[in-house]
Each structure stands twice: as structure tokens, then as C-alpha cells.
Chains A and B, each alone.
Chain A
Amino acid sequence: MNAAIETTGLTKAYGRSRGVEDVDLEVRAGEIFGFLGPNGAGKTTVIRLLLDLIRPTRGHARILGLDAHRDAVAVHRQIGYVAGNPALYDRLTGRRCCTWLAGLRGDPDPAGIDALAERLEVDLDRPIRDLSSGNRQKVALVQALAHRPAVLLLDEPTAWLDPMAQEVFAELVREATAGGATVFLSSHRLDEVQHLCDRVGIIAEGRMVAVERVDDLRHRAWRSITLEFTDAVDPAPFAALRGVADVTATGRVLRLRAEGDLDPLVKLAAAHHVVDLVSEPPDLEEIFRSYFPTDGRNGGPVAGPGTGDRAD
């Protein structure tokens, strides 16, 4: 079996509205799996279930072939975890906190700490309470990565990181998988997931709505594009393009929505004198809606492996 993380019917009921229901996931060993969903969709709940911090109402989870609850201690030896808003022992310096947590793992002086801190540019000699949110998150990343875990469970690990640090983070994650690690990365940012992940699971309102390859996800990523020309142009050829919709022309300005590859659109626009071009990133909410055929404008059948039975 080469599933690093496997859940079957994983359900956590919290009264009527919150929680997650029947989450089936299979994360393959060595992949970077994106776990995408709006805030409150249940991403953190799933990660906390995987960590045995909370217990499922039904279903179960296996990590590296071991039961997430029964074998929790053995599983956790091989896990690195970063929480969304990481709580650390904030009276300690970053270094003391990292070495203390490493000591709980039986290795009080993992070699990687300084190298990681240097790459993430975080000062480990300051008390954590004096650090900014971004730097705290970096300390949390250092402690999670320092012991070279086989599985990384990362709950919105870049929420507070600046773009440079996000780039370093991406490198670190790729290096971890190159070394054989599996990464489970939750995010509510489509661009981050597209940038890093091999496959993406999408969760909304506590249910898995799709598991897709990142390339396939792109086709659901409608972006709003505004083109301004020197003169009014005929919208008809634009509307005829594949993957272009909702074309409206007001004077010299053309507004439309496009999905997938933008090349035909750009080539067509280049026949005119383009004054300005604004492409807004795909609206994640819209992508999520596209997985709910009943209320989405772009509603299509739910696609992707392992989700066919949840198209209702």
C-alpha cells in the first residue's frame, strides 16, 4: 500500500452545522496534496482528526499504514505539524522552544534547526512573544521540519508569511518531498495550491466535493479580465473564443471572464491597440460554487476520482 494518509468515512459531528462528514481521502506517499476550502469548511477539523487531537464520530484515518488513534504515538513520531495560528511556548526563545519540542521526540538537538532558521530568516534567539505573527509561523515551521518527518500536516502554514518567505517555504516543501516525505497542505488560496501541489482535495461545508489534479482544477478557475483599447472593438470574436464567457463591451473597454489557457485571448487582443489589461485571479468562492451544480452559475458535474458518489 502506498497511501501515506487514508481516511474512510471520516465524520465529526458538532451539532447541526459545523464538523465534517464522510471524508474519504487518499494521499499518496511522496506527493504534495493540497487541501483547499473556504474558511470554516472543515480543513482544520480534518487535520485535527488526523492528529488524534479530536476523535471522529464515525470512520477512521490511517497514516503510514497505522491507525491515527490507536497508534497515535508511533504515528506522531513521523509527523511534523504546523497549526494555522501556531501556539508556541512563547516565553521561550525560538531555539529553546524548538529544542524542547525536539526533546519530546527524543532528539534534543536536531541538526537542521539553524539551517532552517537561516533560510526562513527568523531570529531564534528572541523570545517568541516578541516576534511578529509571520516570524512565529516561521518558528513553527522550523520545529515541524527540523526532525525530517515522513509526513507533514500543514494547516494554512503560509497565512502570515511574506511573499519571500512563502517562496522559501515552497522550496522547503519541495525538498521534503524530494527526500521522500508526504505533504498535506491546507489552504484557502488557490494560487498557492496551484503553485505547489500535485493534487488537490476540495472541501466545502464539511464535505469533500472533489479531488482533482491541479491541471484539471485550472479549468474551473475563471478569471475576470478587463481589456482597454484605443478604440471600441467588436466583442463578437472574443465571445466566440473557447473558454471565454460573459463578454460585455462598454465603449473602449471590454470585460469578460476566461478559464484555462489565456493565449488565444491575448493573441486576439493583440490585433488591436491594447492600452491596459487587468486579469483578476480566479475567485475561489466561484470555484467552490462550481462544484455545487444546484446553485452555481457554471455548475457542471462534479469531477475527479473518488468523488463520483458525492455529486448530489
Chain B
Amino acid sequence: MRTDLARRALFDHRRSLLVWALGVSVYVAMIVLVWPSLRDSDQLSSAVAEYPETLQKLFGGDAGFDFATAAGYLHAELFSLMYPLFLAVFAITFAATVLPGEEERGQLALVLAGPVRRRRIVGEKAGALAAALVAVAAVSGVVAWGVGRAVDLGVPVGNLAAAVVGSALAAAVIGAVTLCAGAATGSRAAAIGVGALVFGGGYLLQVVGAFVDALAPLRWVSPLHIANGDAPVRTGWPWPAYGGLLALTIGFVAVAAVAFERRDLRV
């Protein structure tokens, strides 16, 4: 399999990749480092126990808000929003830069004037996105595990991995949607807009679904909810949900390839 384009995309963005991996890791490390002081103070958990049920659901998923355990804390503080948000923003900018961004700069015309199929371009850019997400998730996941060991976090490594992988899969779906919008329009701004809309809109529906029972099914529109609705850092691997996210990612990439194949290059 040829990987010239994927390696070019990763190499060209190696600095931003490094900065993201480091930045997310620092945030993760800080969240984990705060845990011991919370563990030793029972005031917070008793305060949290008095939160309305909807709020508890919002931060804790269906299992509820739980600051009494390290896993509950990590879920509420990290995996229910901030960690997947970081990964999704990274996926959106990466996808929008390597496909519609290169098209807007006229670089894809140069590539396509060579013996290169359009679907190969989409496939290799998606591969680069996947590799970049794996790198950021792996580095920050290992940091979470290492710092967790140092502060005696007590979350099973399997559950931690499940939460990291779930967020990465949610971000992969968002990245694939961004790639799709970029492939269909050739506009970096449109791609970023659609990616952000799916993430933000999905999150909003998840919140509304948590408050209003009738709207609860809407939460399944959110990749974030599919990945983290069951709080995998507490409950372990939700295999069907992850399989679904992977299938969605592959599906969006396939649609992106078809859309790109059919359209006129913009620049």
C-alpha cells in the first residue's frame, strides 16, 4: 500500500502533533494530580451528593455523578467532556487542514495532476488522521496511567484505556465527518464548521436528553454520548458502542471518498 500522502501529512504537521500531545498530556496530568487532595476531603463528595439529579446525570452519565471514587472523578472531570473535546478539536483542525486546506492552497491540483486517484488521497489523509489521533491518545493515556500510578489513583488500567479509546473513537467520527464535509465542499471553513457543529450539537442534545426524558433518545446522535454514556472509566469496555463508532468512522470516510471523486476541484 502506498503511504506517500499520509506520511507527508504527518510529517508536515509534526510540530502541531507534538504540541497537542504535550498539551493534552499536561491537562490530563493536572487532573490526575488533583485527585489525592479531593480523596482526602469528604466535603466535596457530600456537596456533590446534594446536586440535582439532572446535573449529576449531566456530568456522570446514567450512572450518576460520583466524586467518591477516582473513576467517577475522572469521568466527570476528564472523559465526559474535556478529553474528548481536545481530541475532537485536534481531529477537526487536522482533517480540515490536510484535505480542504491543501485544496485551497492549490496543492491537491499538483498531486492530482500526477497518477493519483482521488479516493487514494482521501484514504491516505484519513489514515494520517487516525495515526495522529492514536499518537495523541496514546501519549496522554500513558501519562494518565503513569501519573495515576504515582498518586495511587487505583483505576484499573483496562478501564482507563477503555475511556481513552472511547474518546479517541468519538474524535475519529468527528474527524471523519470533517473530512467528509471538506471532501464534499473543498472549503476548510465549511469543514471546520460542520465538524464543530456535529460535536457541539451532539453535546447539546446529550445535555438536553439528560434533562428531558422524552428527548433522551436524541443523546445517541452525539458520538460523545455513544463513547462515554456508560462511563467506561468506571464500567469498562462498551464493545458494541465502540464497534458502532468505528463503523461510523469508516462509513464517513467512504462517503468522503465518493464525494471527492465526483466533484470539481476548487483550486
The CA-CA distance from A85 to B267 in the complex, in Å, is 11
Kindly provide the distance from the CB of B264 to the nearest chain A CB, expressed in whole angstroms.
Answer: 4
Within the complex, which residue of A86, A91, A105 is in contact with B110, where a contact is CB–CB below 8 Å?
A86
Which residue of the partner chain B has the closest CB to A88? Answer: B110
Q: Does B115 contact A (CB under 8 A)?
A: yes
Contact yes or no, B116 A73, CB < 8 A: yes
Known contacts A53-B113, A76-B116, A101-B110; is-contact A87 B265 (Cβ 8 Å) = no
Which residue of the partner chain B has the closest CB to A87? Answer: B106
| In the complex, chain A residues whose CB is within 8 Å of the CB of B149 | none
The CA-CA distance from A68 to B117 in the complex, in Å, is 13
Q: Mostly helix, strand, loop or mixed at chain A's interface?
A: loop
Kindly provide the distance from the CB of B109 to the nearest chain A CB, expressed in whole angstroms.
Answer: 6
Within the complex, which residue of B12, B115, B265 is in contact with A73, where a contact is CB–CB below 8 Å?
B115
The CA-CA distance from A48 to B109 in the complex, in Å, is 9
CB-contacts of B107-121 with A (<8 A): 107, 109-117
Encoded as 1 (CB less than 8 Å from any B CB) or 0, chain A from 174 to 191 comes to 000000000000000000
Contact yes or no, B264 A100, CB < 8 A: no
Q: Does A213 contact B (CB under 8 A)?
A: no
Contact yes or no, A91 B107, CB < 8 A: no
Q: Does B4 contact A (CB under 8 A)?
A: yes
Report the count of interface residues on B (CB-CB < 8 A): 19
Kindly provide the distance from the CB of B66 to the nearest chain A CB, expressed in whole angstroms.
Answer: 48
Kindly provide the distance from the CB of A127 to the nearest chain B CB, expressed in whole angstroms.
Answer: 12
Contact yes or no, B4 A103, CB < 8 A: yes
Encoded as 1 (CB less than 8 Å from any A CB) or 0, chain B from 183 to 214 comes to 00000000000000000000000000000000
Which residue of the partner chain A has the closest CB to B2? Answer: A104
Within the complex, which residue of B4, B12, B107, B264 is in contact with A55, where a contact is CB–CB below 8 Å?
B264
The CA-CA distance from A105 to B113 in the complex, in Å, is 10
Contact yes or no, B114 A54, CB < 8 A: no
The CA-CA distance from A102 to B104 in the complex, in Å, is 22
Kindly provide the distance from the CB of A57 to the nearest chain B CB, expressed in whole angstroms.
Answer: 10
CB-contacts of A81-136 with B (<8 A): 81, 83, 85-89, 91, 100-101, 103-106
Q: Does A79 contact B (CB under 8 A)?
A: yes
Count A/B pairs, Cβ under 8 Å: 62
CB-contacts of A44-97 with B (<8 A): 48, 51-55, 72-74, 76-77, 79, 81, 83, 85-89, 91
| In the complex, chain A residues whose CB is within 8 Å of the CB of B110 | 81, 83, 86-88, 101
| In the complex, chain B residues whose CB is within 8 Å of the CB of A54 | 264-265
Contact yes or no, A83 B107, CB < 8 A: no
The CA-CA distance from A14 to B10 in the complex, in Å, is 36
Known contacts A87-B107, A89-B107, A91-B12; is-contact A81 B115 (Cβ 8 Å) = no
Contact yes or no, A105 B109, CB < 8 A: no
The CA-CA distance from A105 to B4 in the complex, in Å, is 11
Contact yes or no, B4 A81, CB < 8 A: no
Kindly provide the distance from the CB of A77 to the nearest chain B CB, expressed in whole angstroms.
Answer: 4
| In the complex, chain B residues whose CB is within 8 Å of the CB of A48 | 109, 265
The CA-CA distance from A106 to B114 in the complex, in Å, is 10
| In the complex, chain A residues whose CB is within 8 Å of the CB of B113 | 51, 53, 76, 79, 81, 153
Contact yes or no, B265 A53, CB < 8 A: yes
The CA-CA distance from A101 to B111 in the complex, in Å, is 7
Known contacts A55-B264, A87-B106; is-contact A104 B115 (Cβ 8 Å) = yes
Contact yes or no, A104 B4, CB < 8 A: yes
Binding site for A on B (CB under 8 A): 4-5, 8, 12, 105-107, 109-117, 264-265, 267
* A-B residue pairs in contact (CB < 8 Å), sample of 23: A48-B265, A51-B112, A53-B109, A53-B264, A73-B116, A74-B115, A76-B113, A76-B114, A76-B115, A79-B113, A86-B106, A87-B106, A87-B267, A88-B110, A89-B8, A89-B12, A100-B8, A101-B110, A101-B114, A104-B114, A105-B115, A106-B115, A153-B113
Other than the given A83-B110, A87-B110, 15 more pairs (CB < 8 A) read A51-B109, A53-B109, A53-B264, A72-B117, A73-B116, A76-B115, A86-B106, A87-B105, A87-B107, A88-B107, A89-B107, A100-B4, A103-B4, A106-B115, A153-B113
